[in-house]
Amino acid sequence: MKGVVMNLLADMVETQLGMEEWNAVLDEAGEDGIYTATSIYEDERLLNMVGILSRRNDIPVKDLVYAFGQFMFPAFFTRYPQLIEGHDNVLDFLQGLDSVIHVEVAKLYPGAITPGFSDSRRDEKTLHLKYTSDRQLCALAEGLIDGAAKHFGNAYQLEHNPCYHEGADHCGLLITID
């Protein structure tokens, strides 16, 4: 996990739950809370802190990961508007995840491991994404999609089938905008 992601988790917790809560999570996790944006950290460190947050605040892990995705999108837009601007709607943006966004992420953060998204445009209002990742953070992908839809002002429906967490070898995300 890149340090930028660790820093965004800190930002979310500090913003939504307070600095005291973040410091308590760091203490329990045995972390110092200092993450260099371009450095790589073990995924387990982030997942451990999410687990601690879940337990301490009685919020299901899936809900926390989804909320983190929602929080990440506007944070990414603030940091990298050039990667997001120029798209007409959320579907156009999502269609460029692997071919544009993840290519640029690799340039900005060498060594970053991004999930795979292969897309299939069904029509002007419907896009199917095949999500593949050893991390299996499909709830994060759903939260990012929600954040992107809000950014572009698109009401949408999302169908998630199949899913890694139900034994599939990938997740299917069908997004339809109104």
pLDDT mean values, one per 10 residues, the chain (178 residues):
94 98 98 94 96 98 97 93 91 89 82 89 96 96 97 98 97 98
User: What single-letter amino acid sits at 164?
Assistant: Y
| pLDDT computed for residue 143 by the predictor | 98
Tokens 């009401």 -> residue = 155
Q: How large is the angle between the packed helices 3-16 and 61-79, nearest 10 degrees?
A: 110
Tell me if 142 sits within 8 A of 173, measured CB to CB. Answer: yes
pLDDT score, position 103? 86
Give the pLDDT confidence score for residue 105 in this predicted structure. Answer: 81
2 - beta bridge partners?
Answer: 40
pLDDT at 161: 97
Are 177 and 91 contacting, i.e. CB atoms less than 8 angstroms apart? yes
- Going along 1-123, which residue ranges are E strands? 116-123
Q: So what's the pLDDT on residue 96? A: 87
CA distances for 62 relative to 3, 51, 124, 141, angstroms: 21, 10, 30, 11
